[in-house]
Amino acid sequence: MLLPRVISLSTDRNLLYDGTRYIFSSHHLGGLSLNNTNNEEPSSLQKKLLPRHISFMAMGGVIGTGIFKGSAETVGIAGPGVIFSYIFAGLLLLVVMSAIAEMATIYKGKNMKEFIREAFGERFSFVIGWLYCFMWLSVCVIEIIAAGSFLQYWMPEVPLWLLSLACAAFIIIINTMSVGGYGEFEFWLAGIKIAMIIVFIVLGVCILFGIIPGTNSPMLHNFTGNGGFFPNGWTAIFSALLVVMFSYGGSELIGLTLSETQDAEKVLPRVVKSFILRVILFYTLPILIICGLVPWNSLNEHTSPFVQVLTSAGLQGAAHLINFILITAVLSAANSGIYGATRMLHSMAKDGEAPAALGRLSKKGVPINSLKLSGIVLIAGSMIAYLTQEGLFRLLMAVPGFVVILVWISICMAQFKLRRTYPHEPGFKVWGYPYITLITIFCLSLIALMFIFDAQNRISIGVCLGVLFILIIYSFLKFRTSNKRTSS
């Protein structure tokens, strides 16, 4: 039986408006449900992510090019003492993640951007939201170019841009899956690289202390020679923070999974407690192994330090295996990045901060138009490798590194402001509030200033500040117009 189309406004509670048309609600008439949505596109994101999914997705976002390729640069800046840069940044990250977890226990069903909107309004949320999308798309471009450079280890004759383009196409296809399937796929991708890091640590310790016969065992010589633990002085650990911040960027991705996670307000605090320790260990221990096995000043940015270490130890076969795992690792990070960009665009479209078309969901619950836009940017970004390769990673890493600091500051500021207005006691609290929150904001602000005044980052930071300025101006024009329409 065909149901008549509803063409006028109705106050009947059995009718719901889904944005384009009226549909029957899930009330039943005579045992017959009129809400047949089998062939309809879903109206909201699906809550199909499990605790293990969000934990590994966040790990997938943070353990990528920053450790597997960028660590060569951080070690070159500060030597073995760079581990203190990672520890310091990890403590700042702990406060940021705790702030997200605290707000999640109060504002159930909302994500990170909506916390910022709740605290500072639509203009601030608009600017940070678009900056965050800009950051993630920049990260994805870095990751696919890194994947292409790792593939060149086996195919040196193939142009970098072509390999990067193939990686971009692969990531776009993966993100068309339902969120449950995507979460499962990312769980295994992230699991591979976590397992690889653990194996690398164990293997590295065995080589370092001569447990494996036939390998070169430097013992502790590389820590004491070549200028010692702080060859460029202890202040170099602060210079290295400019790259380290890029490495840790992506951890806050957990804050965007809340809309697709079952019982997010209960799950997130548990995940945060173990997550930070894992991240710090998975960065500091491998870097100690790298600095112990090869002189810190012998690393180059064209090949992963992990591969260089195993090759220098005479384990050429292991180097091939590691290179394969590195490719899956950076593709995993790009995978998380596209997820972050599309979910942020969807959230912004829902709040009127982005074109409404970007909020459209596929039948699998994927923000399909947001994915198309992200895919176009990703493919275009992969062509950067066609134009230039010299100093490319340093240039690109500064962009998300600077933006992630602004996002982290915004999260901490939102938690600082909202704590005083909570309707009830949070189930999870940031330790040492308000002092720890304020200290974190202060430290992050100092690092942001270091970015701005660092001569090597002038082009990248100039681009970031230009984008920020345009977004601020446009936010005033957009929401002033919106407010006038609302008043009318």
Please measure the distance between the N-terminal and C-terminal CA atoms of the chain and give it in whole angstroms: 43
pLDDT of residue 394: 62
pLDDT at residue 68 tops 60? yes
Question: 409: which 2 tokens?
Answer: 């500051």
Which of 88-97, 342-351, 396-405 shows the lowest mean pLDDT across its residues? 396-405
Does 380 fall in a domain? yes
The DSSP secondary structure of 387-437, one letter per residue, reads H--TTHHHHHHHHHHHHHHHHHHHHHHHHHHHGGG-SS--SS--TTTTHHH
pLDDT at residue 477 tops 60? yes
Average pLDDT of span 146-158: 87
Those residues with Cβ within 8 angstroms of residue 90's Cβ, 6 or more apart along the chain or in another chain: 248, 276, 279, 280, 283
pLDDT band at 363 (very low <50, low <70, confident <90, very high): confident
pTM of the model: 0.78
Domain co-membership, 244 together with 383: yes
Handedness of CA 300, 305, 310, 313 (dihedral sign): positive
49 touches 183 (CB < 8 A): yes
Domain co-membership, 19 together with 98: no
Average pLDDT of span 10-23: 40
pLDDT tens digits along 373-424 = 999 988 888 887 666 555 556 666 778 888 889 999 999 999 999 998 888 8
Question: 169: which 2 tokens?
Answer: 């196409």
Query: Residue 372 class from Cβ within 10 Å (0-12 exposed, 13-18 middle, 19+ buried)?
Result: middle
pLDDT at residue 89 tops 80? yes
Does 443 fall in a domain? yes
Domain co-membership, 72 together with 9: no
Q: How many CB atoms are closer than 10 A to CB 99?
A: 31
Domain co-membership, 292 together with 439: yes
Give the whole-angstrom CA distance, residue 341 versus residue 249. Answer: 13
Residue bearing tokens 């970004």 = 381
Q: Which amino acid is at 366?
A: V
Domain co-membership, 249 together with 359: yes
Does 371 fall in a domain? yes
The larger pLDDT score, comparing residue 41 to residue 101, is at 101
pLDDT tens digits along 319-337 = 788 788 888 878 887 887 8
pLDDT tens digits along 190-209 = 788 788 888 888 888 888 88
Domain co-membership, 34 together with 62: no
Average pLDDT, the chain: 78
Which of 154-168, 174-188, 232-246, 343-357 shows the lowest mean pLDDT across its residues? 174-188
Number of domains in the chain: 2
pLDDT at residue 126 tops 70? yes
Quote the DSSP letter at residue 15: E
Does 365 fall in a domain? yes
pLDDT of residue 291: 87
Q: What range does the domain containing 8 cover?
A: 1-38
pLDDT band at 468 (very low <50, low <70, confident <90, very high): very high
Domain co-membership, 28 together with 89: no
The larger pLDDT score, comparing residue 260 to residue 343, is at 343
Domain co-membership, 113 together with 213: yes
Counting residues of the chain whose pLDDT is more than 90, the rounded percentage is 14
The CATH number linked to 376 is 1.20.1740.10
pLDDT of residue 32: 36
pLDDT of residue 446: 93
3-state secondary structure of 49: strand
Does 389 fall in a domain? yes
Does 59 fall in a domain? yes
386 touches 161 (CB < 8 A): yes
Give the whole-angstrom CA distance, residue 214 versus residue 212. Answer: 7
The larger pLDDT score, comparing residue 39 to residue 140, is at 140
Question: 486: which 2 tokens?
Answer: 């609302």
The larger pLDDT score, comparing residue 9 to residue 352, is at 352
Does 403 fall in a domain? yes
Average pLDDT of span 56-76: 74
Q: Which amino acid is at 80?
A: P
Domain co-membership, 325 together with 437: yes
Domain co-membership, 140 together with 32: no
Does 43 fall in a domain? no
Handedness of CA 127, 133, 138, 143 (dihedral sign): positive
pLDDT at residue 9 tops 50? no
Question: Which helix (H) or strand (E) element contains residue 109?
Answer: none
Domain co-membership, 179 together with 254: yes
3-state secondary structure of 33: strand
Domain co-membership, 6 together with 61: no
Those residues with Cβ within 8 angstroms of residue 105's Cβ, 6 or more apart along the chain or in another chain: 265, 268, 269, 426, 427, 428
Average pLDDT of span 344-363: 86
